[in-house]
Structure 1
C-alpha cells in the first residue's frame, strides 16, 4: 500500500507540475521579447512597434494569469502530499520559495498592471521601465524556484540536526550559488526564450500565410528568429554544462541517461541509438559515437564515467555505512537530557552521517534498517537506478529537438537578413507546425531531471518513499481526478483565449483592427 501511495503522490505532483510548466516557458520568453519590442518603440517612436508590444503583451497576459493560478496550487501540494518532506527539509526548501514570493512575484505582479493600464498614464520611458520590471520579475522568479530545485539535486550548504531530526541551512551562500541550481536556471530560462521565439515565429508565419498584417509579422519574425537563434545555441552550450555537473553530483542519472551499464575505458562514447533493457541490464542494438560523452561529462580524455553496475555496488556500500549512522543516531537520541553522548556513537555518526539517507532506502522492506538482510540491502541498492528507458529516450528526443530549433531559427534569421521571409511558403508552414515542439522539449527536460533523481526526493538525503504524507489511496485518487478535471477546463479556457486573440489579430495604434493585405499581394508559392 505504501508503494501505491508513493506512486499516486508522485503522479499527482507530476500532473500539476507538467501542466504548470506549459505556461512558464512562454511567460519567461515573451516577457523579454515584449520588452525588446517596446525598447525599439521608445528608441524609434514608430507606432508599429507599440502595436507589436501590445499584441504580444496581450498573449503574455493570458499566459501569465494561467501560470500564476497553477503555480500556487503546486506550493500547497508540498504540505498536502509531501508533509514529511516539508518537515524534514522545510527550513531549507522554504527559504527560496519565500524569497520568490517576496522578491520576484510581487515585483512581477505589481508591474504587470502598469504594463497593461499605464500606456496613456505614464511616459514612454516610465512604461518601458515597468515592462522590463515584469521581464526581470518573471526571470527572477524562475531563479528562486530553480535554486530550491537545484538544492534537491545537489543538497549543499546544509546539515542534519540530530536533536530536531531535520535538515537545516548551514551556509546560505552555498545554497544560493549551488552550481547545479545556477546551471538549471540559465538552461531553463534559455529554453523559455526558445519557446517564446518559436511561438512568435509560428504565429507570425500564420499571419503571412493568411496575408494579414505583413509588416508586423515580418518584424516580429525578425526579432523572434534573432533572439531564438541565440537562445537555441545557448541551450546547447548550457546543456553541455549540465552534463558535466551531472557527472560531478548525480552519476547515476548520467549513467541512466546513457544506458551505460558497465564502466567503459576513458573517454566514454555517446550512445546515439539503442534499446535499453532494464531487466536484462543491457542495451540492445546500441550505436555509439566514440569519445563524445567523455568530453561532455568529464572535459577530459582520461577520466572514466562509472557505469550503472559499479554505481549500484557503490550504493550498497553507502547503505551499509548508512545503517551504521542510523544505529549511532538511535543511540544518541536515546540519551536522556543532561547525560553525556556516548563518544563512540558520536564518532560513528560524524563519520557516516552523510550516508544516513541510504539507510532510509531500506524502509521499503523493513521498519528498522538495522534488521535488513543482505538480500534487502542488495534490492535497495538497485532501487537507486531510475527507469533507464524513460531517461534514455526523453533525453535523446529533447536533444534532437534542440538541434532542430537551431536549424529552424538560423534559417529564418537568414531569410530575414535577405528580406525573403514570405518567399518560402512551405517554410512558413513548417514554422506554424513547429509551435508545440519547444513545449515537448521542455517537458521532456523536466522528465529527465526529476525521473533521473529517483528514488530520491533530496539526492542522497531523503528517499521519495519516506517523504510522502500519510494519506489514503481513495483520497489521492479523488484529488487526482479533481485536478485532472479542473486543469482540463483551465487548459480549454486558455486555448480558447489565446486562439481568439490570435484570430482577432493585432489592433492598430488608434484601436481599430489592423488592415488586411489583399491576397493578390501575397507572394506566390
Structure 2
C-alpha cells in the first residue's frame, strides 16, 4: 500500500471528522438548554421565557443543519475511503450506525420541524414534549456513534471467523455496554453541554456589555451559569472515569498521555510538565505530583501503570503469537476442515491483528525477522509529544471552565450581572475555548489508538480503499472548499441572528436599534 494514500486517507477523514465535531457539541448542549428554558416558560407562563427559548432555538437550528450536512459526508467515507475496514468489521461497526440512523436521527429529524413551526399550533406542554424529544434524539445519536467508536477503541463482543475471513458479532450486549464506549459517551456529552453553556454565557455577556436586551441576557446568563457549572464539574469527574477505563483497556494510550516510557513504582505520579524525548525514550524536565496518576488510573495505592517500553515487549510477544495464527489462517483458506490448523488458531487467534502489523515490512508476516518484529512492536507507540501536550491543554481548559462558571454562578446569584465588566469581557473571549478542548480530546482519542483502525484487530494502513493520490487530493481539496464555504455561511448566519437579537420586529420592546443605556459599573 502506498504510504501517501494511507496518509491522505487519514488526513481527509480527520479533517471531515474534526470539522463535523465543531457542530455536534453545540447541538448536544443547546438541545437540553432549550428544554430547561422552555420548562421555565411552561411553569411560569412568562412570555420572556418563550422569547428566550425561541432565540436560542434559532441558533440551534443553524447549527443543527450544518451538523447534519457534514455528518452525512463523514459516514459515507467508510464506504469510499475505508472499504476494507467496512468489509472486515462491517458486521459489528455497521450495526450501531444503522440503529443511529433508524432510531435516533429519525427521531430528532421528525420532531425538529414541529419544534420550530409548532409554537402556535401546539399547547405549551405538548411543545415542551416535542423539544424534549428533539434533545433526546440528538443525544441518542451521539450514544450510538460513540458505541461504534468505542468498539474501535476496545473491540469486545466479536471474534474473527476463519470461515468468512471477517470479524463477526458474538455478543451484541458486550458491544452495547462496552466500558470504553459508555465512558466516552458521558464525557463527550458533558463536554457538549459545557460548549453550549459557554456560547450562551458569552453572547449574553456581549449583550450586557452593549446594554442590549438586558432582561433576556440576564436570564440566559443565569441558566448558562448553573448548567455550565454542573456540566464542567461532570466533565472533570467523567474524564477521571475515562482515565480509569484506559488502565484496563488501552494501556498504551494512557502511557503515551503521561509520556511514561517505563513502569514506575506504585503509586505512579502525575506528570504536570515534561519534554518527551523520542530518541532516548525519556521525559526530560519532569514535574510530577506524587501518587495522583496511580490513584486516578488504578483506584489504589499498589496498582501499577505500565510504561511504553514494557508494553512494547508485550506487543512483541503478541506479534509472535499472531504469526502462528496467520499461518493457521493460510492453511484454513486452502483446507477449511483442517482441525490442526483450527486448534492452532483457537489458541492464537486473538493475536492475529498484531501479526498484520508486520505487513508494513514484509508481504508474508510468518516470514518476518526478529528485527522486523521489534520494529512492528514499536509501531504500537503513538505520537507521544502530541498526546502529552494535547491532553494537558485540554485538561487546563477544563479547569478554566470550572472557574469561569463558578464565577458566573456567584455573580448571577448575587444579581451582579452588570457589575463585573471584566468578567463579561472574559466570558466573550472564552467562547472558543471549549471547542479547542474538544478537538484536542478527539486528537488524543484517535491518535492514541494508532497504529490501529480497530485496536489490536486491524492496522490502519490495511483498512483503506484502493485509491490514487490524485483522487484523494481532489476530494480533500473539494471538501476543504465546501466546508470552508459552509463555515462562512454558518458564522454569518449566527452573527446576523445575534445582531438581530432575541425579539421579532413586531414584538421588540426596545428602540429599533435595540440599544438601551448600559447599567454603570459600581465602584
TM-score relative to the length of structure 1: 0.98
Q: Does 1:463 align with 2:463?
A: no
Q: Does 1:184 align with 2:184?
A: yes
Measure how far apart 1:517 and its partner are: 5.0
Which residue pairs with 1:373 in the alignment? 369
Asked if structure 2 preserves the Cα contact closer than 8 Å seen for 1:23 and 1:63, the reply is yes
Q: Secondary structure at the match of 1:419?
A: coil
Measure how far apart 1:512 and its partner are: 3.6
Q: Does 1:276 align with 2:272?
A: no
Which residue pairs with 2:2 in the alignment? 2
Asked if structure 1 preserves the Cα contact closer than 8 Å seen for 2:157 and 2:173, the reply is yes
The 4+ residue runs of structure 1 with deviation greater than 3 A are 508-517, 520-525
Where does structure 2 lack aligned partners over 5 or more consecutive residues? Answer: none
Measure how far apart 1:3 and its partner are: 1.5
Which residue pairs with 2:477 in the alignment? 481
Asked if structure 1 preserves the Cα contact closer than 8 Å seen for 2:418 and 2:519, the reply is no
Matches within 5 A, 1:74-93: 74-93=74-93
Which residue pairs with 1:356 in the alignment? 352
Asked if structure 1 preserves the Cα contact closer than 8 Å seen for 2:8 and 2:472, the reply is yes
CA–CA separation in structure 2 for the residues paired with 1:177 and 1:509: 50
Q: Does 1:233 align with 2:229?
A: no
Q: Does 1:142 align with 2:138?
A: no
Which residue pairs with 2:123 in the alignment? 123
CA–CA separation in structure 2 for the residues paired with 1:54 and 1:62: 13
Asked if structure 2 preserves the Cα contact closer than 8 Å seen for 1:83 and 1:467, the reply is yes
> C-alpha offsets along residues 103-136 of structure 1, whole Å, 9 cap, x if unaligned?
1000101111011100001111111111001100
Asked if structure 2 preserves the Cα contact closer than 8 Å seen for 1:507 and 1:514, the reply is no
Matches within 5 A, 1:262-301: 262-301=262-301
CA–CA separation in structure 1 for the residues paired with 2:330 and 2:260: 38
Q: Secondary structure at the match of 1:498?
A: helix
Which residue pairs with 1:261 in the alignment? 261
Which residue pairs with 1:155 in the alignment? 155
Q: Secondary structure at the match of 2:285?
A: strand
Which residue pairs with 2:423 in the alignment? 427
Q: Secondary structure at the match of 1:300?
A: coil
- Equivalent residue pairs, number: 521
Which residue pairs with 1:14 in the alignment? 14
CA–CA separation in structure 2 for the residues paired with 1:103 and 1:66: 20
Measure how far apart 1:279 and its partner are: 2.3
> C-alpha offsets along residues 437-475 of structure 1, whole Å, 9 cap, x if unaligned?
000000000000000000001010000010011111111
CA–CA separation in structure 2 for the residues paired with 1:80 and 1:293: 41
Asked if structure 1 preserves the Cα contact closer than 8 Å seen for 2:30 and 2:60, the reply is yes
CA–CA separation in structure 2 for the residues paired with 1:4 and 1:464: 13
CA–CA separation in structure 2 for the residues paired with 1:183 and 1:520: 45
Which residue pairs with 1:390 in the alignment? 386
Matches within 5 A, 1:51-90: 51-90=51-90
> C-alpha offsets along residues 193-222 of structure 1, whole Å, 9 cap, x if unaligned?
000000000000000000001111011010
> C-alpha offsets along residues 63-102 of structure 1, whole Å, 9 cap, x if unaligned?
0000000000001000111000000000110000000011
CA–CA separation in structure 2 for the residues paired with 1:474 and 1:27: 35
Asked if structure 1 preserves the Cα contact closer than 8 Å seen for 2:208 and 2:518, the reply is no
**Change in 2 beyond 3 A, CA 1:321/1:201:** same
Where does structure 1 lack aligned partners over 5 or more consecutive residues? Answer: none
Matches within 5 A, 1:94-109: 94-109=94-109
**Change in 2 beyond 3 A, CA 1:513/1:144:** farther
**Change in 2 beyond 3 A, CA 1:346/1:514:** farther
CA–CA separation in structure 2 for the residues paired with 1:360 and 1:499: 50
CA–CA separation in structure 2 for the residues paired with 1:262 and 1:447: 23
CA–CA separation in structure 1 for the residues paired with 2:232 and 2:314: 37
Which residue pairs with 1:27 in the alignment? 27
Q: Secondary structure at the match of 1:519?
A: coil
1:505 to 474, 490, 501: 501
Which residue pairs with 1:252 in the alignment? 252
Measure how far apart 1:509 and its partner are: 9.3
2:446 to 440, 443, 450: 450
Asked if structure 2 preserves the Cα contact closer than 8 Å seen for 1:361 and 1:463, the reply is yes
CA–CA separation in structure 1 for the residues paired with 2:301 and 2:123: 58
Asked if structure 1 preserves the Cα contact closer than 8 Å seen for 2:190 and 2:231, the reply is yes
